[in-house]
Amino acid sequence: MQHVAKWGNDFKTLEEYSARFARWVEVDLFIAAINHPESGETHTAGHNKFSTWHEHEYEALMTLQAEQAPEDEPQVFELYKHTPERLGVAPATLDWRTASTCVTPVKDQGSCGSCWSFATTETVETAYCQATGELKTFSEQQLVDCCTVYAGCNGGNYPKAWDYVNEMGQMLESDYPYVAADTTCVYDATKAVASITMVDGHTSTSIGNYLIRNYGTPEEIMAGVAVRPAAIAVNASGLRFQTYETGVLNNCTNTSLNHAIVMDGYDSTASVPYYQVRNSWGASWGMNGYILLGMTEGNEKGNCGVQQDVDYPNIGANW
């Protein structure tokens, strides 16, 4: 009942209450097992707004549509592989929230499966700020409604969404507010602020420079994220990810990618080295909206698949 009060749950019938309570008990037992002193886990779990959600409701948030790299393209793309002097040696630790003023606060996609639009927008926001010195909040709803190559609340990905921003520009959140639902496109070209202009060439069909495709090493990923926060793909299914609260999540063996989020830091010197990842489920989830995913040495898929797909939009000066 404390949980119901905290999250403002409104269950209409006794049957619904009973079903939600049964799910909460299942989650509560899982949390107790993770937090047991002898569990060997490097993270802690806790209840959150998802604790009474049925599995199919939670899974509906994860609608990343896989973008397959052509078979003849290298695993590590040109930006890293052939121009290490541009990237330089990545620092051992990095947190873009404190390293710059170009990171927007944690957002909440609600019950719409629009994770892809948030990963796209948040990386554009930082890239725009790096180029102009102005941090602006852009519209995820515009991508949900107007980027028709994808399916709005039913799924998408960041590469072609960056292409859309390159072609059409992106409006401010204040001009095109987020409503967490599929609505009619009301794009206004006169209010489009951000656009991405490709520079230095690229090795994919997208405006984004793929730093890692298939698998990457921590060194390669850190070198990329040291340039700017990157959109990444992970597997967010299951109670291990859902109930994450603090610490470094390891032992996350499901690597089938289904959720888009943003990596904006890492610490390779921590007792348990990790990637710092910004989710789009609000600040009440995880560590104020963040999750730390353990690094995996060598060319591995990584915890929850985190080392498989690390991309960011490459930009020019035309904004």
DSSP code for 89: P
Q: What is the pLDDT of residue 180?
A: 97
H or E segment and range at residue 313:
strand 309-313
For the chain, helix (H) and strand (E) counts, in that order, are 11, 11
| Marked catalytic residue, from 157, 279, 303, 314 | 279
User: Please, what is the Cα angle at 283 between 213 and 115, to 5 degrees?
Assistant: 35
115 is catalytic: yes
How many whole angstroms separate alpha carbon 64 and alpha carbon 113? 8
Q: Give the start-to-end residue ranges of the domains of the chain.
A: 2-313
Residues of the chain with pLDDT under 70: 67-88, 195-214, 315-319
| Marked catalytic residue, from 43, 102, 112, 115 | 115
How many whole angstroms separate alpha carbon 105 and alpha carbon 172? 15
| Marked catalytic residue, from 129, 147, 259, 303 | 259
Q: What is the pLDDT of residues 92-127, one digit of tens each?
A: 999 999 999 999 999 999 999 999 999 999 999 998
Which two tokens mark 107? 């957002």
What is the residue type of 281? W
Q: What is the pLDDT of residue 99?
A: 93
Q: What is the pLDDT of residue 3?
A: 94
User: Please, what is the Cα angle at 10 between 240 and 105, to 5 degrees?
Assistant: 55
Evaluate whether 270 touches 43 at the Cβ level (below 8 Å): no
How many whole angstroms separate alpha carbon 273 and alpha carbon 270? 5
Q: Which CATH architecture has domain 2-313?
A: Alpha-Beta Complex (3.90)
Evaluate whether 263 touches 310 at the Cβ level (below 8 Å): yes
Q: Which residues pair with 285 in a beta bridge?
A: none
User: Please, what is the Cα angle at 154 between 240 and 228, to 5 degrees?
Assistant: 65
Q: What is the pLDDT of residue 207?
A: 46
Q: What is the pLDDT of residue 193?
A: 87
192 HSE (CA, 13 A, CB side): 19
- Hey, is 121 helix, strand or coil? helix
202 is catalytic: no
Q: What is the pLDDT of residues 59-82, one digit of tens each?
A: 999 999 876 544 444 344 344 443
Evaluate whether 111 touches 60 at the Cβ level (below 8 Å): yes
Cα-based torsion angle of the residue sequence 124, 202, 307, 297 in order, rounded to the nearest 10 degrees:
-130
Q: What is the pLDDT of residue 315?
A: 62
Which two tokens mark 163? 């292409």
47 is catalytic: no
pTM over 0.75, yes/no: yes
